Amino acid sequence: MTRATKSSLTFSVEGSFSRYSSLWSHKRLHTGEKNFKCNICGLAFAKAAYLKNHSRIHTGEKPYRCNVCGMQFSQSPHLKNHERIHSGERPYVCEVCEKSFARHSTLWNHRRIHTGEKPYRCDICGSCFNQATHLKNHAKVHSGEKPFKCDICSVGFSDSD
């Protein structure tokens, strides 16, 4: 266990850090301290590496390339998620029904089927949905937006079904 004291705060961390600066970088995750600020949008981060990843949103830089299809990504984890399309890997498994998913976020959305949780509520009519995209599609009912047109008669619909 490593203990470090700075100001009036004391932190305990299992394991150790090879550099003092690494310990203090880790400490910022606990304090919420964010010293690295984007000079374009003002968003702040606890680590310089997080700011560097974020800055790619503004620059459009995509240094991570898929070896199979050539698609490029701004962050390494996005490439890893994409590569699962090609490999068929589905490491995230539902503990209730054993259905598997390529993305952790998809598993989280799926779990709501079992729990009945519907955290996305329409401010207009009060209808609740288990996914944000379902609420977004529902909002078209109230806005009158009908982006889907029949090829034959041009009648518009709010959803593609």
133-150 pLDDT, tens digit per residue, is 999 988 888 888 787 888
The mean-pLDDT minimum among 60-69, 72-81, 98-107, 152-161 falls in 152-161
Identify the pLDDT of residue 155: 86
Q: Is 161 helix (H, G, I), strand (E, B) or coil?
A: coil
Identify the pLDDT of residue 6: 44
CATH fourth-level superfamily of 98-161: Classic Zinc Finger (3.30.160.60)
Identify the pLDDT of residue 79: 96
Q: pLDDT grade, residue 62 (50/70/90)?
A: very high
The mean-pLDDT minimum among 23-27, 85-89, 122-126 falls in 23-27
Examine the pLDDT at 95 and tell me if it is beyond 90. yes
Q: What is the mean pLDDT of residues 24-48?
A: 88
Identify the pLDDT of residue 15: 63
| Secondary structure E strands in the chain | 2-6, 9-13, 36-37, 44-45, 64-65, 72-73, 92-93, 100-101, 120-121, 128-129, 148-149, 156-157
Q: Is 12 helix (H, G, I), strand (E, B) or coil?
A: strand
Closest listed residue to residue 122, CA positions, set 99, 150, 142: 142
| Secondary structure E strands in 74-113 | 92-93, 100-101
H-run or E-run covering 138: helix 132-143
Identify the pLDDT of residue 19: 82
Identify the pLDDT of residue 14: 54
Q: What is the mean pLDDT of residues 56-60?
A: 95
| Higher pLDDT among residues 82 and 25, named by residue | 82
Identify the pLDDT of residue 77: 92
Q: What is the mean pLDDT of residues 10-25?
A: 68
Tokens 């209808």 correspond to what residue? 127
d(CA 141, CA 124): 10
